Homo-oligomer: A and B are copies of this chain.
């Protein structure tokens, strides 16, 4: 393995463990075992476990951020139809994972926000990035007449982010799709009074 792929492998495999078990509940030795690398490799790329955690936030943001943006720039669909389809993609993702895991950023935010301010600030930036992507698509929906011109898209985007985090928490707790379906009904059929479907 070259250097880049070793670092990536540690972040990928270690990140999957942290996603499933939590950050404090995952030991460095488990990460090494999962990635199949010796301890020296870990410390070549990461100063310590916290540094690994911070780089992991960026790694997950890159993974999911590109996925979110690629869904939202598909011009064959109306803005709100793209937005809805993004959440349907996630619904399928979580169905394939037994409605477990939850949001990698949300989990870390829950666990780490009160324990380490450096971690908290990095996670806040990540979550703001998600809200900004949502605001962009809502702004486009306003431009194209799918939402009223006076819509406060920033407030709405931030609410959608937090409702989505809450939906993922409930999904993980109930181990079923109910909360994700409920999120879709309330956000798209009520709050956004979605006319996107008609315009696909």
Q: Are B24 and A173 in contact (CB under 8 A)?
A: no
Tell me the bound Cα distance from A166 to B182 in angstroms. Answer: 14
Q: Are B172 and A161 in contact (CB under 8 A)?
A: no
Complex: chain B residue closest to A156, CB-CB = B186
Copies per complex of this chain: 2
The yes or no answer to A66 lying at the interface (CB within 8 A) is no
12 residue pairs of the A-B complex, CB under 8 angstroms, read A21-B115, A22-B22, A22-B24, A24-B25, A25-B115, A102-B110, A110-B169, A156-B186, A158-B178, A158-B182, A162-B170, A191-B191
The yes or no answer to A114 lying at the interface (CB within 8 A) is yes
Q: Are B100 and A114 in contact (CB under 8 A)?
A: yes
Contact of A22 among B111, B162, B182 (CB under 8 A): B111
Least Cβ–Cβ distance between A187 and chain B, in angstroms: 9
Complex: chain B residue closest to A102, CB-CB = B110
Name the interface residues of A87-116: CB closer than 8 Å to any CB of B: 100-102, 106-107, 109-111, 113-115
The yes or no answer to A18 lying at the interface (CB within 8 A) is no
Q: Are B114 and A174 in contact (CB under 8 A)?
A: no
Tell me the bound Cα distance from A169 to B130 in angstroms. Answer: 15
Tell me the bound Cα distance from A22 to B109 in angstroms. Answer: 12
Q: Which of A's residues lie within 8 Å of B, judged by CB? A: 20-22, 24-25, 100-102, 106-107, 109-111, 113-115, 120, 123-124, 127, 155-156, 158-159, 161-167, 169-170, 172-175, 178-179, 182-183, 185-186, 190-191
Tell me the bound Cα distance from A162 to B183 in angstroms. Answer: 9
Tell me the bound Cα distance from A162 to B169 in angstroms. Answer: 8
Q: Are A173 and B123 in contact (CB under 8 A)?
A: yes
Q: Are A166 and B162 in contact (CB under 8 A)?
A: yes
Tell me the bound Cα distance from A179 to B155 in angstroms. Answer: 10
Tell me the bound Cα distance from A174 to B25 in angstroms. Answer: 24
Q: Which residues of B contact A106 (CB under 8 A)?
A: 110, 169
